[in-house]
């Protein structure tokens, strides 16, 4: 097998970001606050009590950042829209100045032949809707569909692909079960219903798009292959449960119109009896699947670990990133192949892949991030290997363009191709930016 993974002509080479993580100035020009604005301003919730008030100041530096993207040679850029900038109350009144920011951004990208891929929801629900029950409210799918329609009508003439929701699993589990993300709830009876409403919201937005849209729409899932820490029956069963909990909980309803049988056992009484009509509506309304891949799970049975009776353990004999995630490129190939062999080989994009490392300090305005270069080389090679096995892969979006607000970790974890320190707001290139520029120019990873 050739080691120089040339990718097909027209393959998308992008970078990915999200609104709350890079824009800053979240209440500018009439915008309404989000649950992440409220959460990050709650002392003790985010490392260093950091907030997205400044972040990468992208709201005021978008033109400079689009120039960086053009200099990299990106042919695509994935970003999210802050719901509260467009609909400050979450519903009804459109804030034209907020919408204008995104109109200008899209036009600037197109001027540089960079295709926009827009994520409608990357976790920043308007507080006005959260205060009406948020994603627990059965009306939330309709709220989302109305918001999506405003954006489709305003931008679909210039947008190649839409992602409805980024990682419903993270929004539901970290935000409503573990309480470590906004809105900070830790309630076993919330996660299953929030996930269900997020999937219904995805389906309702797709239905609206079918009526008025002209391009592609999909969803982005965090997919993490699970491996047993030993060959014991207990560890193998634990890995299967964690696979259902992280991967199949979302994949199966989207592709098969049913939740995995393991879910009621995992959640017990916290698992509602969802109407089959809902599941039919959720099934197969999208044009592509977005894969956010970072690492794999190395799983050990642990009866004390609710709700799975399984824990992801840190391997001491394998390299890991600053997030404590094992570096395992083969997991990307295996995840993509699974979509081919088990889910009908749908059109797919790698909508996120990247790594945080303890980058060295800049020297003469450059950061030598050799670890990140190696991570990206190995994972882009792994993506190429999946393509050679016939996976229907259409593009790769690197997480992330800029060091940014890493949710509960604040600014302590750096994923960017460009170093950004909020107090300075310079974009300092890293060696990984030069590496990615070469990958794009050669449409593949030369060994």
Question: Which residues are catalytic, by number?
Answer: 167, 352
Answer for which of 415, 418, 435, 436 binds ligand GI1 (CB under 6 A) is 415
> Within 164-193, which residues bind ligand GI1 (CB under 6 A)?
166-167, 170
Rank residues 53 and 100 by Cβ distance to ligand GI1 and give the closer one.
Answer: 53
Pairing of strands 5-6, 393-399: unpaired
Answer for which of 59, 298, 349, 399 binds ligand GI1 (CB under 6 A) is 399
Measuring CA to CA, which residue among 163, 35, 55 is closest to residue 411? 55
What's the min distance (Å) between Cβ of 167 and ligand GI1? 5
What's the min distance (Å) between Cβ of 69 and ligand GI1? 18
Cβ distance 166 to 289 under 8 Å? no
Cβ distance 87 to 147 under 8 Å? yes
Is 204 one of the binding residues for ligand GI1 (CB under 6 A)? no
Stretch that binds ligand GI1, among 7-15, 162-170, 360-368, 439-447 (CB under 6 A): 162-170
Which residues, including other chains, have CB under 8 Å from residue 413's CB and lie 6 or more apart? 322, 323, 356, 406
Which residues, including other chains, have CB under 8 Å from residue 147's CB and lie 6 or more apart? 83, 86, 87, 90, 91, 120
Rank residues 287 and 409 by Cβ distance to ligand GI1 and give the closer one.
Answer: 409
Buried b (16+ CB within 10 A) or exposed e, 286-297: bbbbbbbbbbbb
Is 23 one of the binding residues for ligand GI1 (CB under 6 A)? no
Stretch that binds ligand GI1, among 163-171, 196-204, 257-265, 276-284 (CB under 6 A): 163-171
Is 335 one of the binding residues for ligand GI1 (CB under 6 A)? no
Report angle CA 257, 260, 264 to the nearest 5 degrees.
Answer: 120
The site map against ligand GI1 for 101-140 (x = CB under 6 A) is: ----------------------------------------
The site map against ligand GI1 for 249-288 (x = CB under 6 A) is: ----------------------------------------
The CA distance from 15 to 396, in Å, is 8
Rank residues 57 and 406 by Cβ distance to ligand GI1 and give the closer one.
Answer: 406
Is 222 one of the binding residues for ligand GI1 (CB under 6 A)? yes
Bridge partners of residue 399, in order along the sequence: 16
Q: Which residue is nearest to ligand GI1 (CB)?
A: 222
Burial of 234: CB neighbours in 10 Å, binned 0-12, 13-18, 19+: middle
Rank residues 274 and 411 by Cβ distance to ligand GI1 and give the closer one.
Answer: 411
Bridge partners of residue 16, in order along the sequence: 78, 399
Rank residues 208 and 244 by Cβ distance to ligand GI1 and give the closer one.
Answer: 244
What's the min distance (Å) between Cβ of 288 and ligand GI1? 17
Is 294 one of the binding residues for ligand GI1 (CB under 6 A)? yes
The size of the interface with ligand GI1 (CB under 6 A), counted in residues, is: 12
Joined tokens for residue 29: 């020009």
Burial of 25: CB neighbours in 10 Å, binned 0-12, 13-18, 19+: middle
What's the min distance (Å) between Cβ of 350 and ligand GI1? 11
Answer for which of 23, 57, 204, 352 binds ligand GI1 (CB under 6 A) is 352
Joined tokens for residue 71: 């200099």
Cβ distance 35 to 418 under 8 Å? no
Cβ distance 80 to 120 under 8 Å? yes
What's the min distance (Å) between Cβ of 277 and ligand GI1? 30
What's the min distance (Å) between Cβ of 223 and ligand GI1? 8
Rank residues 65 and 167 by Cβ distance to ligand GI1 and give the closer one.
Answer: 167
Answer for which of 292, 333, 381, 432 binds ligand GI1 (CB under 6 A) is 292
The CA distance from 426 to 430, in Å, is 12
| Dihedral sign (CA 94, 100, 101, 107) | positive
Cβ distance 32 to 128 under 8 Å? yes
Is 40 one of the binding residues for ligand GI1 (CB under 6 A)? no
What's the min distance (Å) between Cβ of 405 and ligand GI1? 8
Residues near ligand GI1 (CB under 6 A): 18, 21, 166-167, 170, 222, 292, 294, 352, 399, 406, 415
């Amino acid at each position: 097998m050739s080691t120089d993974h040339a990718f097909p002509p027209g393959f998308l080479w992008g970078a990915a970001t999200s609104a709350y993580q890079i824009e800053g100035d979240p209440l500018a020009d009439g915008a309404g606050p989000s649950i992440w604005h409220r959460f990050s301003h709650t002392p003790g919730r985010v490392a260093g009590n950091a907030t997205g008030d400044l972040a990468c100041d992208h709201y005021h530096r978008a033109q400079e950042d689009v120039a960086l993207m053009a200099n990299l040679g990106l042919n695509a850029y994935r970003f999210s829209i802050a719901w509260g900038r467009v609909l400050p109350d979450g519903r009804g009144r459109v804030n034209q100045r907020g919408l204008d920011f995104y109109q200008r951004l899209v036009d600037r990208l197109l001027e540089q032949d960079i295709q926009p891929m827009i994520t409608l929801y990357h976790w920043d629900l308007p507080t006005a809707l959260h205060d009406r029950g948020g994603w627990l409210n059965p009306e939330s799918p309709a709220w989302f569909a109305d918001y999506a329609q405003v954006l489709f009508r305003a931008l679909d003439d210039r947008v190649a692909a839409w992602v409805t929701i980024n990682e419903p699993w993270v929004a539901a589990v970290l935000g409503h079960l573990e309480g470590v993300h906004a809105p900070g709830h830790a309630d076993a009876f919330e996660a299953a219903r929030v996930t269900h409403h997020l999937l219904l919201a995805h389906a309702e937005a797709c239905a609206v798009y079918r009526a008025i849209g002209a391009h592609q729409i999909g969803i982005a899932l965090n997919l993490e292959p699970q491996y047993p820490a030993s060959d014991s029956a207990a560890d193998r069963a634990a890995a299967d449960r964690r696979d259902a909990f992280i991967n199949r909980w979302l994949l199966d309803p989207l592709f098969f119109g049913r939740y995995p049988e393991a879910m009621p056992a995992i959640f017990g009484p916290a698992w509602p009896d969802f109407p089959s009509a809902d599941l039919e509506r959720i099934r197969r309304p999208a044009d592509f699947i977005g894969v956010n891949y970072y690492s794999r799970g190395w799983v050990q049975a642990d009866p004390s670990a609710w709700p799975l009776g399984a824990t992801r353990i840190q391997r001491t004999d394998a390299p890991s990133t600053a997030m404590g995630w094992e570096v395992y490129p083969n997991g990307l190939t295996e995840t993509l192949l699974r979509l081919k062999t088990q889910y009908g080989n749908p059109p797919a994009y790698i909508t996120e892949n990247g790594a945080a490392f303890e980058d060295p300090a800049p020297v003469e305005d450059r950061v030598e991030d050799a670890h990140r270069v190696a991570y990206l080389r190995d994972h882009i090679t792994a993506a190429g290997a999946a393509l050679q096995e016939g996976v229907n892969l259409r593009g790769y979006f690197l997480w992330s363009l800029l060091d940014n607000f890493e949710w509960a970790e604040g600014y302590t974890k750096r994923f960017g191709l460009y170093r950004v320190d909020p107090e300075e707001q310079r974009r300092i290139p890293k060696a990984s930016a030069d590496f990615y520029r070469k990958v794009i120019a050669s449409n593949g990873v030369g060994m």
